[in-house]
Every structure is written in C-alpha cells, then in structure tokens.
Amino acid sequence: MKIAVAGGTGMVGAMVVDQLKARGHEPVVLARAAGVDLVTGGGLEDKLDGVEAVVDVTSTATISAKVATEFFTTTTGHLLQAGYAAGVRHHVLLSIVGIDVTPFGYYVGKLAQEELVKDGKVPFTIIRATQFHEFAEQMIERSRVGPVLVVPRMRSAPIAAAEVAALLADVALGVPRGMAPEVGGPRTESVPDMTRRLLRKQGSRRPVLTARLVGKAGRAMATGALIPANPGTVGIQTYDEWLEQR
C-alpha cells in the first residue's frame, strides 16, 4: 500500500517510514529534504497519486502560538486539500495529550491543526501521544541559554518514539477511527530530570535550570495535564531502559 508520511525525515516520521517499509508497503516522504515544502505546497503536486493514507507528523520548533498555528494549519491544509483531490481515504494526525487544557504556544497550533482535520473532508484518525523519550534530546538541542539549559517544569509519561511509530503504521493501514484513545508511556517522569539524566549519560556536566512557565499553561504542564488519565495504549519501554540503549 502507498502511504505518504508528511515529516518523514523527522524524529518519529523516519521511524514510521521504516515501519512501513519493513511491512512491505511503499512510503512516500513529504518533507523539504525530499523536495516538498508543505508551507507553500511546492512539490506536492502529484505526490499523493495512488496514496491510500497520509501520516501527518511534520513539526516546527517554535513556542509562538501565531507561528505554530500558521505552520500547522497551512501544512495540514495543503495535505487535506491535495489528499481529498487525490482520493486519499485516511488522514492520520499525531497530536499531543493535554493540549486542550494547556494553552502553551506550540499546543495552540496543534489544537488548531486538530480542528482543521476534524472539519476536513478526508476521513481521519487523530492520536494524541505524550512526549517521546527522545523529547529530552530535543530539549538539549533547543533550550540552550548560553552554557546552561533552561527546561520548563513539566511532568510527562514519556514513550519511545519507536512505539508510537509502530502504532501510527498500524493505524494508517487500518480504517479511520476519528479521535482515537490516547497513548502514553509506562511511568511518570519530570522532564528536567530526564534531561539531566541524558546529559549525564552523554558525559556532559552542563547545568539544567528549571523554570515554571507563567500562567495557566505553566501550571498545567507542571501538575500533570500532559499525562493521559485513561490511555488506550501504554508503551512498554521505560525512559531508563531507553537511556540504557543510547
């Protein structure tokens, strides 16, 4: 089966591509590195011909609600439009647990993206997952302030990106399910602590400062709003097990 992976060069996207290949399917990567810019729609033209399902896992590094909303509604808007025209039967969106009660800039954009998919003409599945174990790596790359890292006070039930990728491949090969049950990892962790443990593993002594984000979003993140109450799928690999394998 031909399945497009928008963001197929990214953290989870590349794993979805591998999963699909391993199962004998034909992934079509939609990313700038593959000649498709989903912000402009350039390069998308006939890429969805014969494609049965689209897995939507693009991302942009921003904490601005305006930038995130523009990015997610534009990229997903182009995918839905082109998908409908090409007869795509299933749009699979990866979203994030707790975004409806955590008005943090990036999550505002993800919520607008969910609404667009729900209002669109292509049958869909939206899966909300928790932060990946790999999120700690992304924090180290993206939260540097001079020599220190500033990481938000945040509780999570992190899950291995590989487990989410396998689930996304299953879902893409199945029928549309609308809002699917949430997905989370096996244990609750503190994100600053995850970051410190990963730095230690890497042999780095870089200090990690913790800051609670202001307002409702900061309070929600710090008090567990990003942890699913009733996950439909609970990941198997713990953060420590993942760390052990690095």
Ligand X SMILES: NC(=O)c1ccc[n+]([C@@H]2O[C@H](COP(=O)([O-])OP(=O)(O)OC[C@H]3O[C@@H](n4cnc5c(N)ncnc54)[C@H](OP(=O)(O)O)[C@@H]3O)[C@@H](O)[C@H]2O)c1
Using CB under 6 A, which of the segments 28-36, 80-88, 185-193, 196-204 binds ligand X?
A: 28-36
Yes or no: say if 69 and 115 are a contact pair by the CB < 8 Å rule. Answer: no
- Token pair in block for residue 206: 């870089």
Residue 196 dihedral angles phi and psi, to the nearest 5°: -60, -45
Determine if 19 is a binding residue for ligand X (CB under 6 A): no
Q: Return the residue nearest ligand X (CB atom).
A: 10
The single residue among 4, 13, 16, 199 that binds ligand X, judged by CB under 6 A, is: 13
Query: Residue from 3, 4, 20, 38 that binds ligand X (CB under 6 A)?
Result: 38
Residue 72 CB: number of other CB atoms within 10 A?
26
Spell out, one character per residue from 108 to 137, where the chain touches ligand X: x when CB under 6 A holds, - when not: --x------------------x-xx--x--
The DSSP annotation for 88-135 comes to --EEEEEEETTTTS---HHHHHHHHHHHHHHHSSS-EEEEEE--BTTH
The distance of closest approach from Cβ of residue 59 to ligand X in the complex, given in angstroms and rounded to an integer, is: 3
| Given 2, 18, 25, 32, the residue binding ligand X (CB under 6 A) | 32
What residues between 52 and 91 interact with ligand X by CB under 6 A?
57-60, 75
- The full DSSP string for 11-65 is HHHHHHHHHHHHTT-EEEEESGGGT-BTTTTBTTTTTTTT--EEEE--------H
Say how many C-beta atoms besides its own lie within 10 A of residue 64's C-beta: 14
Give 28 or 146: the residue with its C-beta nearer to ligand X: 28
Q: Figure out which of the listed residues 21, 22, 35, 39 binds ligand X, where binding follows CB under 6 A.
A: 39
* Residues contributing to the site for ligand X (CB under 6 A): 7, 9-13, 31-33, 36-39, 57-60, 75, 94, 96, 110, 129, 131-132, 135, 138
